[in-house]
Chain A
């Protein structure tokens, strides 16, 4: 007997489109209930592929459950529910909320895609939903950022689609299965996924676009796009060595740029690249321990990064300020928001008894297990760097440092509840990691709480903190941004286009002048021969005609005589 189970993504996406249509209590019920219903369906979809859809001669499987898919879909649904609560509190526009839920639903669609075409369709739906979320912040800056964001993601989408088609022509398969980036098709697929992961060179879109959204918009954005990319890498390209180095680059890129940054939500956006770098690196290592680490880290990361951005969003909403140079001393009037922000900061830094500690250590342990000494040393340095750029820098500059004199009140209750739920989740996962370990893709045989690990992690973090305060003078915030690859498409290409337009206009003018000159010469020439005085158009006087006739007659007479 076939159980008629609805695809979870479909329920979420269709339900989301009802949000603007209902009001009051019904909307609240829909916003909170829809993700939970989706979560229920995520666990009800049977393991074996159910529904098949014929499409252009292909068999599509829109809803296929896997361990990895369930894990990611679970945290996506939880994220949507708590993000929805936060958005209700921050009075987000219903349209923005609908876009965010369509975005979340399509992310769940990616994790349940049974074939590459379905994956691609949801992938693009995510790009549209997330662009709408940025657009609906409704500021001039957001509109421009949304356009740049869309361009980057359309490029990623084109790479992915080209890759899927090439792969299908090569192998005749559109199955979501492990592949190696050795053919054109698989290389394009890898490239398309890496664009969404925030990999170099196009990492700049995250810090460019996310901080322009509304307080709740940024919270949603931080969760789905990069983490579905992690999911796709996890199921398609585990053990691809290139990813180790791409991941390490992202890790340090995130730290350095976050250290240079002044905008509080941009700091956290750079930190997304840093965190995804850890996951990408672990996927590159590719052992069961490493893949478990990447999946668990993604799960924990979504929760604590959302918590950090909720805390930053609350500050933004209550003070209308976003720069570290304008903030400081807010712990006095926003103690709860500060506390939740600090819990998120401790979790991202992998402090013992937080979710970061029990998940990120799987990744470093995997590097050690494989004997990758350099990778391990770099990951260790990066862990210290996370505490530096996100763990201390964010709470310090926003809630402490100098007293800015601002005394904003706490945000509305719904926003505080959303933060409280995720703060509790960060600590609960840290203290009781077993339920999370139980739903990881592979059997977990790892004990995070050993005395040696606790002591070494505490030393690493606290001495990083010591370094922060010793070097505080070197990190004075300045009213600056940092150039990144986006300079090429925001300034260089722009200047190139302007230069091209200028030069083309000059060349065209010269060409025009030359053509006009030729024409004028031709007219002058015609005038000489055919003008009033021209030899070919001159009219002769009657007298000369008579003279010529007389002359000719005279000649005839002379010929006749002789």
Chain B
């Protein structure tokens, strides 16, 4: 039985999937042109959260930082998965 590879797995479709992701990202940034975010902490004079695209770059950087943190901790914490098997 020969099954045709699903279109998600065909190499020629990979650039298209990345392009689709870029389009979606651009779409969620689009409303920034019209929406004005209100500050969550006006009493502290903190206005970073009213900047254009704050949530976008903050989400990206937070995730990158967590992946790096996991990677670094992994150096010390990772063991073969039969570590506790007697």
Hey, which chain A residues are within 8 Å of B54, CB to CB? Answer: 456
Hey, which chain B residues are within 8 Å of A332, CB to CB? Answer: 6
Known contacts: A332-B6, A467-B64. The answer to whether A455 contacts B35 by CB under 8 A is yes
Hey, which chain B residues are within 8 Å of A380, CB to CB? Answer: 55, 58, 62
Minimum distance in angstroms from B14 CB to a CB of chain A: 11
**B residues at A contact (CB < 8 Å):** 5-6, 8-9, 21, 24-25, 28-29, 31-32, 35-38, 40-41, 43-44, 46, 53-60, 62-71, 73-74, 76-81, 83-84
Summarize A's interface: helix, strand, loop or mixed: helix
A474 touches B35 (CB 8 A): no
Hey, which chain B residues are within 8 Å of A474, CB to CB? Answer: 67-68, 71
Hey, which chain B residues are within 8 Å of A262, CB to CB? Answer: 81
B66 touches A460 (CB 8 A): no
B72 to chain A: closest residue by CB: A256
A385 to chain B: closest residue by CB: B66
Contact among B5, B35, B63, B67 with A452 in the assembled complex (CB-CB below 8 Å): B35
A462 touches B67 (CB 8 A): no
Q: When chains A and B are docked, how far (Å) is the Cα of A259 from the Cα of B63?
A: 11
B80 touches A480 (CB 8 A): yes
A-B residue pairs in contact (CB < 8 Å), sample of 24? A255-B70, A256-B69, A259-B70, A323-B81, A368-B40, A373-B46, A380-B58, A384-B58, A387-B63, A388-B67, A452-B37, A456-B54, A457-B55, A459-B28, A459-B56, A462-B25, A462-B28, A463-B25, A463-B59, A466-B21, A471-B64, A474-B68, A481-B78, A482-B77
A461 at the interface (CB under 8 A from B): yes
Q: When chains A and B are docked, how far (Å) is the Cα of A398 from the Cα of B59?
A: 24
Chain A contacts with B in 340-395, Cβ cutoff 8 A: 368, 371, 373, 376, 380-381, 384-385, 387-388
Q: When chains A and B are docked, how far (Å) is the Cα of A462 from the Cα of B8?
A: 20
B60 touches A464 (CB 8 A): yes
Hey, which chain B residues are within 8 Å of A376, CB to CB? Answer: 40-41
Hey, which chain B residues are within 8 Å of A411, CB to CB? Answer: none
Given contacts A252-B66, A464-B63, 14 further A-B contacts (CB under 8 A): A263-B81, A371-B43, A385-B66, A400-B8, A451-B31, A451-B35, A452-B37, A456-B55, A460-B59, A463-B55, A463-B60, A464-B62, A470-B64, A482-B77
A536 at the interface (CB under 8 A from B): no
Chain A contacts with B in 437-475, Cβ cutoff 8 A: 451-452, 455-471, 474-475
Contact among B21, B36, B57, B81 with A479 in the assembled complex (CB-CB below 8 Å): B81
Hey, which chain A residues are within 8 Å of B66, CB to CB? Answer: 252, 255-256, 259, 381, 385, 388
Q: When chains A and B are docked, how far (Å) is the Cα of A490 from the Cα of B84?
A: 8
Hey, which chain A residues are within 8 Å of B74, CB to CB? Answer: 260, 480, 482
B63 touches A459 (CB 8 A): no
Contact among B38, B43, B53, B79 with A459 in the assembled complex (CB-CB below 8 Å): B53
A371 touches B77 (CB 8 A): no
Q: When chains A and B are docked, how far (Å) is the Cα of A332 from the Cα of B25?
A: 27
Minimum distance in angstroms from B80 CB to a CB of chain A: 6
Hey, which chain B residues are within 8 Å of A469, CB to CB? Answer: 21
A191 at the interface (CB under 8 A from B): no
B6 touches A466 (CB 8 A): no
A259 touches B25 (CB 8 A): no
A483 at the interface (CB under 8 A from B): yes
Contact among B31, B67, B76, B79 with A471 in the assembled complex (CB-CB below 8 Å): B67
Q: When chains A and B are docked, how far (Å) is the Cα of A244 from the Cα of B12?
A: 49
A288 at the interface (CB under 8 A from B): no
Hey, which chain A residues are within 8 Å of B64, CB to CB? Answer: 467, 470-471
A461 touches B59 (CB 8 A): yes
Hey, which chain B residues are within 8 Å of A368, CB to CB? Answer: 40-41
A372 to chain B: closest residue by CB: B41
B28 touches A458 (CB 8 A): yes
A381 touches B28 (CB 8 A): no
B73 touches A455 (CB 8 A): no
Hey, which chain B residues are within 8 Å of A483, CB to CB? Answer: 76-79
A403 at the interface (CB under 8 A from B): yes
- From A252, A262, A385, A387, name the one whose CB has the most chain B CB atoms within 10 angstroms: A385
A260 touches B70 (CB 8 A): yes
Hey, which chain A residues are within 8 Å of B59, CB to CB? Answer: 384, 459-464, 467
- From B58, B65, B76, B80, name the one whose CB has the most chain A CB atoms within 10 angstroms: B58
Contact among A451, A459, A479 with B55 in the assembled complex (CB-CB below 8 Å): A459
B41 touches A260 (CB 8 A): no
Hey, which chain A residues are within 8 Å of B43, CB to CB? Answer: 371
Q: When chains A and B are docked, how far (Å) is the Cα of A478 from the Cα of B80?
A: 9
A403 touches B35 (CB 8 A): no
A329 at the interface (CB under 8 A from B): yes
Hey, which chain A residues are within 8 Å of B80, CB to CB? Answer: 479-481
A381 touches B58 (CB 8 A): yes
Known contacts: A329-B9, A455-B35, A481-B84. The answer to whether A388 contacts B63 by CB under 8 A is yes
B37 touches A260 (CB 8 A): no
Contact among A252, A255, A373, A400 with B41 in the assembled complex (CB-CB below 8 Å): A373
Q: When chains A and B are docked, how far (Å) is the Cα of A164 from the Cα of B32?
A: 54
Hey, which chain A residues are within 8 Å of B83, CB to CB? Answer: 481
A137-156 Cβ-contact flags toward B at 8 Å (1 or 0): 00000000000000000000
B73 to chain A: closest residue by CB: A256
A482 touches B79 (CB 8 A): yes
Hey, which chain A residues are within 8 Å of B46, CB to CB? Answer: 373
Q: When chains A and B are docked, how far (Å) is the Cα of A404 from the Cα of B80?
A: 22
Q: When chains A and B are docked, how far (Å) is the Cα of A329 from the Cα of B67?
A: 24
B50 to chain A: closest residue by CB: A452
Q: When chains A and B are docked, how far (Å) is the Cα of A457 from the Cα of B54?
A: 11
Q: When chains A and B are docked, how far (Å) is the Cα of A403 from the Cα of B5?
A: 9
Minimum distance in angstroms from A458 CB to a CB of chain B: 5
A471 to chain B: closest residue by CB: B67
Q: When chains A and B are docked, how far (Å) is the Cα of A329 from the Cα of B80?
A: 25
Minimum distance in angstroms from B23 CB to a CB of chain A: 11
